[in-house]
């Protein structure tokens, strides 16, 4: 499972405007609805339900909201760099400015976990995050996110 399997250039948002966690999730749900063809409210409800279990703000300015939907044909990802950092109830209590949304079919099982692990590994890389924070274009962000791990190590 590679990042390129999860996102497309259309699923990268270079300057998401949101002033709260709820607003960010609503905006991400709206954009995810356009990509998946699913209803925006269904996506938002799944994300909100997941946040009630515990925050997806993983620290260092990063959040990985995720959820499963029954009528989703495959895994979908959406990456957003926020215009301004927002509070996200993160485990380190720091505001979030990088969000990777992951949606999976209910039947995804291990694929969902593999995708979460892959996204988490990528966003734990401080160098990658610095580059993401310094890039203003969707094309540039997409290129950074989908660059192969081997070429990043070079």
The residues carrying an active-site annotation are: 66
User: Within 13 Å of residue 103, how many CA atoms lie on the same side as its CB?
Assistant: 31
Query: Alpha carbon of 131 to those of 42, 71, 127, 136, 145: distances in Å?
Result: 33, 35, 6, 10, 10
152 Cβ contact partners less than 8 Å away, ≥ 6 residues apart: 125, 127, 128
Record the tokens describing residue 146, joined without a space. 């989908």
- Three-class DSSP category at 9: helix
Is 50 in contact with 56 (CB distance < 8 Å)? yes
φ, ψ of residue 122 in degrees (nearest 5): -60, -45
74 Cβ contact partners less than 8 Å away, ≥ 6 residues apart: 105
Least Cα distance to 132 among 109, 93, 99 occurs for 99
């Amino acid at each position: 499972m590679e990042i390129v399997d999860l996102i497309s250039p259309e699923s990268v948002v270079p300057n998401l405007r949101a002033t709260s966690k709820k607003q960010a999730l609503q905006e991400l749900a709206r954009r995810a609805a356009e990509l998946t063809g699913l209803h925006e409210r269904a996506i938002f409800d799944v994300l909100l339900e997941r946040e009630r279990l515990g925050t997806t703000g993983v620290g260092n300015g990063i959040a990985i909201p995720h959820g499963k939907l029954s009528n989703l044909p495959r895994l979908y990802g959406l990456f957003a760099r926020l215009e301004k950092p927002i509070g996200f109830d993160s485990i380190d209590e720091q505001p979030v400015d990088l969000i990777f949304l992951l949606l999976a079919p209910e039947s995804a099982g291990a694929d969902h976990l593999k995708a979460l692990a892959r996204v988490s590994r990528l966003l734990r890389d401080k160098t990658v995050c610095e580059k993401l924070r310094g890039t203003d274009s969707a094309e540039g962000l997409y290129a950074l996110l989908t660059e192969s791990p081997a070429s990043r190590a070079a």
